[in-house]
Structure 1
Amino acid sequence: MSNFIIGTCGHIDHGKTALIKALNGFEGDTTKEEKERGITIDLSFSNIAKDDKNIAFIDVPGHEKLVKNMIAGAFSFDCVLIVVSAVEGIKPQTVEHLEILNLLGVKNAVLVVTKKDLINESELDKKLIEAEEFITKYDFDLKFSMGVSIYDEACIENLKEKLFSLNASTKIQENFFRYYVDRVFSAKGAGTIVTGTVLGKPIAVNEQIFISDIQKESKIKNLQVHGVDAPMANISNRTAINLSNVDAKNIKRGFVISKKGYLRGFSSIDISFTALKDKLLHHNRHYSVYIGSRKIDAKVLLFNSEDSLSNGFASINSKEDIFSIYDEKLIIRDGNFTVAGGVVLNPVSDPMKKSQKLHLLEALKDKNIPKAYLILLNAHKKGLGLISSAQRFALSHQEALINAKELQNCFVDEKELIIYPISTKEIIYNNIKSIYTKNSYALLSNTSIKLRLKWASEGFIQLVLNELVEEDFLIKDGNLYKNANIKEDFRSSLEQIMLKRLEEENISPTAPYNIYDNLDIDRKMGDEILKSLCSKKQVIRLQHNLFIHSSCLSGLVNDMKNIIKKDGYINIQNFKEKHPLSRKYLITYLDYLDNFSEIKKQENKRVFKGI
């Protein structure tokens, strides 16, 4: 079934809610306050379906003080139903709604002049022409226009048929599921339920989702699409999600639900903006920023001016994290006045110089992704991860790789999804060469080197290792690399080096991994060497990470027995007086004494048997 969303716009009392009721029987103004005041206060949601087509309606309030609620629904419109009263014509809130929708990039539009029963046919034709001419000031694709009366069943049916004939779906499948919460409540027997519009990708019952704003995972217990249980919800479906293991009190309108690992939140994002006619956006001023169904109080910092601009680039700085994606639209308001519309260019906060950032924003505005990569690489010389491309550029990983491969003088690790400037290879090259120059008996694998150069991918490290082998500086031995100038048996030499190291460390040996790193030995090889030394009884293993030279241990045992002879016992206190070691060592060595037949344990002391 195809789905698209039609949202209303227009001045208060021009008949938006009544028109929706005439189309599908849905009463939008249901709250006590709405009924008392006779106006729509919050968003209402309904639908009509025919054959394989479903149209969801979002009815928005027309009062000037409720524009924030209008914006919360408008971001998901595929088409706008512009409602103009035949009696009053275009009014201020009609204008502001049109301006906001234009800034949000809504293109498809339908014009309906309501209350046609209150004027004659010639006046209706005149009102239609006036409204159409006014709408041409904006960047809408007007599909059709007509006059209606909610009391004329034939014209309502005609409007329905025209709406069903539209091909108005504008949302495309993205790289991951996104969903802005516009309502949240708790239902008896069900628990927490949120409503919103499915964006990006479909979702299904039992899927794991992630509530970004509170960093919490949840499972979808149930889905309802327009009040009917459904196993799956598709893009543009108005959908209620029944969440497990989440308290409704912890979720608010504007929260973003997605899949874990796709969205990161940042307190600063960068945008391009265009102000409305006769309006300016001021530098270093606080505004209300509307993105999706969320309102954020933020400071706006202009890039090109310390005063004000009608268009340009700006940073949105907030005290709360913003979970946005590339090319997402937003609205900037000052109190009750709409000032500008923006497009998210950089949803990921990068440590960059202002001049670099400006070049990046220019490239992103032009959708020149390869150029954006190059600029980012200047700020991320130790690798730019493509894993974030879904959020940063609205690209799949495959699309991100295609763009990355257009770059020159770069290394693209397709497996780990990272781009490196090829000049960075020199850092890896010098680092490896330094290890093997300082320690001729170094024996490392690719993995061991990555532990030292955490920013470098194994693919990039391998490129350097292959070059060093070609230069006859290194020799590959299995998955290990050794100095090409050393001809003797490496294993035998390393055993002696390891044994000597443990002998020097005496009774306070360091953990094996620290020894391996210090001696530039691969960890797996190091484990094998220690295992061999233990089998030869040259080294004794006392704990998982405590190995001691056998002669050092023998000397210590003699000291411990002498303490018992002198004091009649040994415990932590008198043992530490002779050997001021950490408690870890003291307890381990006292426990080792229990292996000797002449020693027995009495509470926290060791003594000789028969004494």
Structure 2
Amino acid sequence: MNLILGTAGHIDHGKTSLVKALTGIDTDRLKEEKKRGITIELGFAFLDLPCGNRIGIVDVPGHEKFINNMLAGAGGIDLAMLVIAADDGIMPQTIEHFEILSLLEIKHGLIVITKTDLVDDDWIEMVEGEIREKFQGSFLEDAPIIPVSAHTGAGLEELKTALSVIVSQVKEKKLSTPCRLPIDRVFSVDGFGTVATGTLIEGRIKVGENVMLYPSLEAAKVRSLQVHGNPVEKAVAGQRVAVNLTGIKKQEVMRGDAIAHENSIENTMMVDVKLNILKSTARTVKNASRVHFYHGTKEILAKVILLDRDELAAGESAYVQFRFEEKLALKVGDHFVIRFYSPLETIGGGTVLDANPIKHRRNQPAVISAMEIRENGTRKEKVLLEIREQSKNLRDIDYIRDHIGKEPIAKELEKLVGEKAIVPMNDRLYLSKEYLAFLKNRLIKLLREFHKAYPLKEGMNREEVRGKLIPQAPVAAIDSIIGYFIDKKTVKWESEFVSLPDFKVVYKEADTELLNEVEQRYQNAGFAPPSLDDLARHYGKNKQYTGAITMLKKSGTIIPLDLKFCIHRDYYQQALDLLNDYLEKNQEIALGTYRDMLGVSRKYAVALLEEFDKKRITKKVGEGRQLQK
């Protein structure tokens, strides 16, 4: 099992010394850290436990000025080690770090009392009592409390044993989801280029894979990987990973970016959440307040939109929409922390309910109801909600599944279809019954208006139906929808036309006159027929001529040559007879010869010859034509 242990606790309580005593690795790597004797940046190590597991360790700074660095490290941890010095006891950053762990919903951890060599046993017992009282009712309520001394080594083996027990209780990560690695460090290596490090929180990543940087959407390729300093061909969720990227420069990558597979996350400028305000804060969050928003290794500014109230006080929770000042890529179920704009204080956090919502108006019961389902609804209710909201966008089942989590949704889809709450258009697309009813009414209205405007046309061209029913919809999706309505006999489809089931072309005297008039135009034109543009200019606003053309084509009175020209069947046959007569005596006919025989310009001769080629009467050989054998 691959897991990450994160340290937490007040400055100078011995977190880094403890990690070094456990692992032999000094996680303070910066000159300034050595000089000042404090941790500033995140540090990394690994530990082999008695149970056989190797866990990664993220050592975080304890100083209040570096809480942003602590948050960048805390986002990827699976279990926490809260460190409290025996001589100091619980201090301000002890509480703030603990509150951050709680907001991130870390469920497993233990407490380590360090510097026990500086105090006597009675003092340690008193500190233990204080700890038990302080963390009662929290995820650390029943956690082991291990007294240790990094100086003497006392308690280190007991600590390793306790960690082994906790590791066995942590739920193993699923590796089937696309990879996601929030970046906490970027640097260049001579001869290798850009290297980004972070905790792989989802999926797996392999050497040679194409990946994408979010939110910049810059493409890159994985040149090589290291886990705990060792080269590997693949890394999995729960490991600390160094990724050597090609195709991207160091200055194009920064802390807070995420490496993930292409199209596996969506950038957003807002997010719907359940926000919990800490009981200990003295701050009140008001509607439209600006806050610092921490997600993964990213920190951005956001505006708080309280959806059902004007302010949120200590210990309260509410549904909130955050509107960001820059793009962010996150997923449903992700956790976040917010800090007061100024002065910087941790005030709350929560869980993402919708990673890419629309902008909400405040005090809308339907919005709150939808968020309640997203937070507490059954999986079936969540699937139905997503399909209702995404039907108009024609989102397929992969999007629906990913938007509520990665678990399969086949059972929920089957139940909802059985209840007639949703309707399958194909094996990938399901629509809500409400949106389908809307489309049905829209289609009927569309065709009714078309039949009224063009009574001589048998129906609307299918391509036109696609464009007007749901503009810019994917062809496969809209064809499935039209096919559904054809199957249900809402509409009929004959030849290339879609019409209402009871529609028939009924000729009036004026229609017959127009039909004869259009046919006469083609007869009078002979081998040089009018183009459709010519007819449009002639008839102007009277669009009934298009119905006449359709009927003449259907009856075979005029024959289409290409998108511009049709020719009367009498002249089509004459043109074909002239061609056959010539080729019976000659092996080949040139374009110019055929043009002169017909007495027309080149464009008409080309249109006729290309039509004969399509019908396999002739074939093009060089610049001439020969009869097909």
Q: Is 1:291 matched up with 2:295?
A: yes
Does the CA contact (< 8 Å) of 1:78 and 1:170 recur in 2? no
| 2:626 corresponding residue in structure 1 | none
Kindly state the Cα deviation for residue 13 of structure 1 after the two structures are TM-superposed.
0.7
| 2:94 corresponding residue in structure 1 | 94
| 1:10 corresponding residue in structure 2 | 9
| 2:392 corresponding residue in structure 1 | 382
| 1:267 corresponding residue in structure 2 | 269
Aligned counterparts of 2:227 and 2:520: Cα–Cα separation in 1: 70
More deviation, 245-254/258-267: 258-267
Does the CA contact (< 8 Å) of 1:175 and 1:390 recur in 2? no
| 2:332 corresponding residue in structure 1 | 326
Q: Which amino acid aligns with 1:195?
A: T
More deviation, 180-189/381-390: 381-390
Q: Which of 343, 348, 359 lines up with 2:351 in the alignment?
A: 343
Does the CA contact (< 8 Å) of 2:104 and 2:335 recur in 1? yes
Deviation sequence 1:66-90 (CA, Å, 0-9, x none): 1111111111111110111111111
Aligned counterparts of 2:520 and 2:162: Cα–Cα separation in 1: 86
| 1:124 corresponding residue in structure 2 | 124
SS in structure 2 of the partner of residue 23 of structure 1: helix
Q: Which amino acid aligns with 2:107?
A: K
| 1:579 corresponding residue in structure 2 | none
Q: Which amino acid aligns with 2:307?
A: F
Deviation sequence 1:19-43 (CA, Å, 0-9, x none): 0001111111110111111100011
Aligned counterparts of 1:368 and 1:300: Cα–Cα separation in 2: 28
Distance 1:211 1:475, change over 3 A: closer
For residues 464-503 of structure 1, what are the structure 2 equivalents within 5 Å? Answer: 464-468=485-489, 474=492, 503=530
Q: Is 1:71 matched up with 2:41?
A: no
Q: Which of 394, 408, 431 lines up with 2:446 in the alignment?
A: 431
Aligned counterparts of 2:521 and 2:183: Cα–Cα separation in 1: 61
Q: TM-score, normalised by structure 2?
A: 0.75
Runs of 5+ in structure 1 lacking a partner? 511-517, 555-587, 596-611
| 1:176 corresponding residue in structure 2 | 178
Q: How many residue pairs are counted as aligned between the two chains? A: 532
Kindly state the Cα deviation for residue 222 of structure 1 after the two structures are TM-superposed.
1.0
Distance 1:390 1:191, change over 3 A: farther
Distance 1:380 1:78, change over 3 A: closer
Distance 1:461 1:110, change over 3 A: same
Does the CA contact (< 8 Å) of 2:108 and 2:170 recur in 1? no
Distance 1:78 1:252, change over 3 A: same
For residues 20-39 of structure 1, what are the structure 2 equivalents within 5 Å? Answer: 20-39=19-38
Distance 1:148 1:419, change over 3 A: same
Does the CA contact (< 8 Å) of 1:404 and 1:419 recur in 2? no
Does the CA contact (< 8 Å) of 2:104 and 2:337 recur in 1? yes
Does the CA contact (< 8 Å) of 2:387 and 2:430 recur in 1? no
Distance 1:155 1:231, change over 3 A: same
Aligned counterparts of 1:323 and 1:507: Cα–Cα separation in 2: 54
Does the CA contact (< 8 Å) of 2:273 and 2:350 recur in 1? yes
| 1:565 corresponding residue in structure 2 | none
Distance 1:21 1:157, change over 3 A: same
Q: Which of 404, 420, 426 lines up with 1:393 in the alignment?
A: 404
Does the CA contact (< 8 Å) of 2:226 and 2:243 recur in 1? yes
Aligned counterparts of 2:519 and 2:143: Cα–Cα separation in 1: 85
Kindly state the Cα deviation for residue 214 of structure 1 after the two structures are TM-superposed.
1.1
Q: Is 1:358 matched up with 2:368?
A: yes
| 1:582 corresponding residue in structure 2 | none
Kindly state the Cα deviation for residue 371 of structure 1 after the two structures are TM-superposed.
3.9
Q: Which amino acid aligns with 1:319?
A: E
Q: Is 1:302 matched up with 2:310?
A: no
Does the CA contact (< 8 Å) of 2:186 and 2:250 recur in 1? yes
Kindly state the Cα deviation for residue 162 of structure 1 after the two structures are TM-superposed.
2.7
SS in structure 1 of the partner of residue 33 of structure 2: helix
Q: Is 1:199 matched up with 2:201?
A: yes
More deviation, 31-40/195-204: 195-204
Distance 1:33 1:390, change over 3 A: farther
For residues 407-486 of structure 1, what are the structure 2 equivalents within 5 Å? Answer: 408-420=420-432, 421=434, 422-424=436-438, 425-432=440-447, 435=450, 438=454, 441-442=457-458, 449-454=465-470, 455=473, 457-468=478-489, 474=492
Deviation sequence 1:491-546 (CA, Å, 0-9, x none): xx9x9899799736356999xxxxxxx9699xxx99xx89x99xx996666xxxx6
Q: Which of 208, 211, 216 lines up with 2:210 in the alignment?
A: 208
For residues 235-250 of structure 1, what are the structure 2 equivalents within 5 Å? Answer: 235-250=237-252
More deviation, 310-319/377-386: 377-386
Aligned counterparts of 2:456 and 2:536: Cα–Cα separation in 1: 23
| 2:540 corresponding residue in structure 1 | none
Aligned counterparts of 1:393 and 1:21: Cα–Cα separation in 2: 41
Deviation sequence 1:78-137 (CA, Å, 0-9, x none): 111011111111111101100111111011111111111112223222322322332224
Q: Which amino acid aligns with 1:459?
A: S
Does the CA contact (< 8 Å) of 1:273 and 1:340 recur in 2? yes
SS in structure 1 of the partner of residue 200 of structure 2: strand
Kindly state the Cα deviation for residue 217 of structure 1 after the two structures are TM-superposed.
1.9
Distance 1:21 1:371, change over 3 A: same
Does the CA contact (< 8 Å) of 1:195 and 1:238 recur in 2? yes
Aligned counterparts of 1:369 and 1:40: Cα–Cα separation in 2: 44
Aligned counterparts of 1:29 and 1:537: Cα–Cα separation in 2: 86
Q: Which amino acid aligns with 1:287?
A: V
Runs of 5+ in structure 2 lacking a partner? 507-514, 538-544, 572-601, 610-629
Aligned counterparts of 1:398 and 1:320: Cα–Cα separation in 2: 33
| 2:564 corresponding residue in structure 1 | 547
Q: Which amino acid aligns with 1:392?
A: H
Distance 1:101 1:405, change over 3 A: farther
Does the CA contact (< 8 Å) of 2:214 and 2:329 recur in 1? yes
Kindly state the Cα deviation for residue 360 of structure 1 after the two structures are TM-superposed.
1.4
Distance 1:212 1:439, change over 3 A: farther
Aligned counterparts of 1:260 and 1:366: Cα–Cα separation in 2: 30
Kindly state the Cα deviation for residue 283 of structure 1 after the two structures are TM-superposed.
1.5
Distance 1:288 1:475, change over 3 A: closer
Distance 1:298 1:519, change over 3 A: farther
Distance 1:46 1:459, change over 3 A: same
More deviation, 23-32/121-130: 121-130
Distance 1:467 1:108, change over 3 A: same
Aligned counterparts of 1:499 and 1:52: Cα–Cα separation in 2: 89
| 1:561 corresponding residue in structure 2 | none
Deviation sequence 1:404-437 (CA, Å, 0-9, x none): 5476443233533342324223323443565567
| 1:581 corresponding residue in structure 2 | none
Does the CA contact (< 8 Å) of 1:7 and 1:80 recur in 2? yes
Aligned counterparts of 1:378 and 1:388: Cα–Cα separation in 2: 13
Distance 1:374 1:485, change over 3 A: closer
Kindly state the Cα deviation for residue 389 of structure 1 after the two structures are TM-superposed.
2.9
Deviation sequence 1:577-608 (CA, Å, 0-9, x none): xxxxxxxxxxx97999xx9xxxxxxxxxxxxx
Kindly state the Cα deviation for residue 388 of structure 1 after the two structures are TM-superposed.
2.7
Does the CA contact (< 8 Å) of 2:533 and 2:564 recur in 1? no
CA RMSD of aligned residues (A): 4.0
Does the CA contact (< 8 Å) of 2:422 and 2:430 recur in 1? no
Deviation sequence 1:186-211 (CA, Å, 0-9, x none): 11111111111112211211122111
Does the CA contact (< 8 Å) of 1:435 and 1:520 recur in 2? no
Kindly state the Cα deviation for residue 442 of structure 1 after the two structures are TM-superposed.
3.8
Q: Which of 227, 230, 249 lines up with 1:225 in the alignment?
A: 227
Q: Which amino acid aligns with 1:62?
A: G
